[in-house]
Chains A and B, each alone.
Chain A
Amino acid sequence: MFKNYLIALKTLAFKECYRILRIWTQTIVPPVITMILYFLIFGQFLGNHIGMIEGVTYTSFITPGFIMMSTITNTYANVSGSLFMNKFQRSIEDLLIAPVPPTVILWGYILGGLFRGLLIALIVTLVACFFTKLQFTHYLILICTIFLTLIALSCAGFINGMIARKFDDIALVPTFILVPLTYLGGVFYPINNLAPLYYHISLFNPIIYMVNLFRYGMLGITDVNINFALSILLVITIALYLLAYWMFKQGIGVKR
């Protein structure tokens, strides 16, 4: 049985990866173009006027945030979009009819999300090379952060895909929640500089922890306590995973 599930998982994951590569003009090119523009505008044009932040250049400061920002939105969009598309075409049915447990299906989509997220992270890192000197300080933190973040966002996207009834529902969360949270998530500025009220409000934004962890991993600087941030990220990831699993097992949005 276990061997069967492993083959099923491999099949699903490959299918997802293949989809991402097949429609690369939609999945890979747009974020790269966006990021080149961001680096040009914020890094080159504006960055030169801003000067040093917490001991690094502004371009260096925003690089980890940019990587996080693009990988977060892309992973989310990947899983929610792919799942919804399968629901929309009803092709999810062949998977639900097959002897594949919910855990395997969920992980199949998570692996797809991870693939897209890591691919984007890699490409954005390469883009960043042209604008700033890259620095990697804490490898373990980097790896933990990116994996936990991508798993969490995959699960969130999965939940979104499950409850979405029409295409608009897929765009709703990114537009009204994910993008605002990332923009306010300490990508562009250190939250230490904020007025106390905004600083405290910011601490409720989970993206703050992801961005700061990643920045710490690259540059060794952070606005929040690293252990606390890691714990928060771990809790969020586990919670989202369990919620996605439970909802899928119930058949919410996929079974009648």
Chain B
Amino acid sequence: MYSSALEVNHLTKIYKNGFTALNDVSLTIQQGDFFSLLGPNGAGKTTLIGVITTLIKKTSGTITIYGHDLAQEEFVAKQILGVVPQEINLPAFETCWQILINQAGYHGIPVKAAKESAEQCLRQLFLWDKRDSQTIALSGGMKRRLMIARALIHQPKLLILDEPTAGVDIEIRRSMWQFLSELNRNGTTILLTTHYLEEAENLCNKVALINLGKIQYQGEMKQFISQLEVETFVLQIAESLTGLPLPTTWNWRLVNSQTIEVDLPKEKTISELIEFLHSKNITVIRLTNKFNRLEELFINLTKQVAHV
């Protein structure tokens, strides 16, 4: 019988100090999805993951993992789950190898299979050379990869990653993206939280937006992107401009004499923009999109909420 990979129903979490971190959150992730949970700092992403992993006690609501109710079949549900937490939680004086073997043991994997699996996971995440290092001697990026390896030791069907690429250099971030995509293609359902829209856009087919403990949007990634009304582009131009000889129908900003930023509304195309500039004898050398779309979106969202 088919069941969704994760179903969160009317989940509410009120912390002991009375703060409502999750407010009636409902979320469905289908098997095979690569799902991103986007939200600004303090939105409730880690709290949501905490409740799913039972590290945080829910106030009300239900959670089902591959058809297993977390409250009733906790240990069956958890066997399906792999988790990479936001904050490093590795024991300082254990080696990479021991950590993976122990985690395999917690999942009931016999020693022989555990060793094979540990080797495979360490190699996949380029940590095989470090297998005998204590975690205290690992760099931040290595620790993060070790946490991924640890989460994969029992081949979970649902992998949850809480900002896995925070503090990881670009090269490793790329290889991590590649790795996760491949994992997803091979059938692992993935839930990932991130602040970066670009990351989510590159990897995920589904997205949910969370802010102030409420789900603001949930749906297909493509649709979501197309709904982002305004995109900002940065243009490098050949001529030095001192003022903007441009009509206000376009939303311009002069960053410096050879760089301008343009907010492009959905109904306008890039061709139109280039043609327009061309007609003004302005040559565009480079065009990049600005990596702040999400921030702006969040700012807008927060404003909206504040207005309500």
Contacts and interface: CB of A to CB of B under 8 A. Distances in A.
Physical interaction between A and B: yes
Interface of A: 1, 3-8, 10-12, 15, 22, 86, 89-91, 93-101, 251, 255-256
B79 interface: yes
B81 to A, nearest CB: 7
Top 8 nearest A-B pairs by Cβ distance? A4-B108, A11-B105, A90-B89, A98-B106, A99-B78, A91-B91, A99-B75, A99-B79
B107 A99 contact: yes
Interface residues of B, number: 37
B54 A7 contact: no
B57 A256 contact: yes
9 contacts: A3-B108, A7-B110, A15-B102, A90-B89, A96-B55, A97-B78, A100-B106, A251-B57, A255-B57
A88 B3 CA distance: 38
A249 to B, nearest CB: 11
B91 A5 contact: no
Given A10-B105, A255-B55, A94 B150 contact: yes
B144 to A, nearest CB: 14
A15 B104 CA distance: 13
- Tell me whether chain A's interface is mostly helix, strand or loop, or mixed: helix
B54 A93 contact: no
Given A99-B76, A99-B78, A256-B57, A94 B89 contact: yes
Residue among B50, B76, B91, B101 with max Cβ neighbours from chain A (10 Å)? B91
B108 A5 contact: yes
Interface of B: 15-16, 50, 53-57, 74-79, 81, 83, 85, 87-93, 98-99, 101-110, 150
B89 A91 contact: yes
A101 B76 CA distance: 11
Contacts of B74: 99
Contact of A99 (B57, B85, B88, B106): B106
A206 B57 CA distance: 36
A89 B79 contact: no
Contact of A97 (B83, B90, B93): B83
A109 to B, nearest CB: 14
Contacts of B85: 90, 93
Contacts of A11: 101-102, 104-106
B92 A93 contact: no
B56 A255 contact: yes
A8 B79 CA distance: 12
Nearest to A105: B106
A22 B134 CA distance: 13
A256 B50 contact: yes
Contact of B103 (A10, A90, A98): A98
A179 B79 CA distance: 43
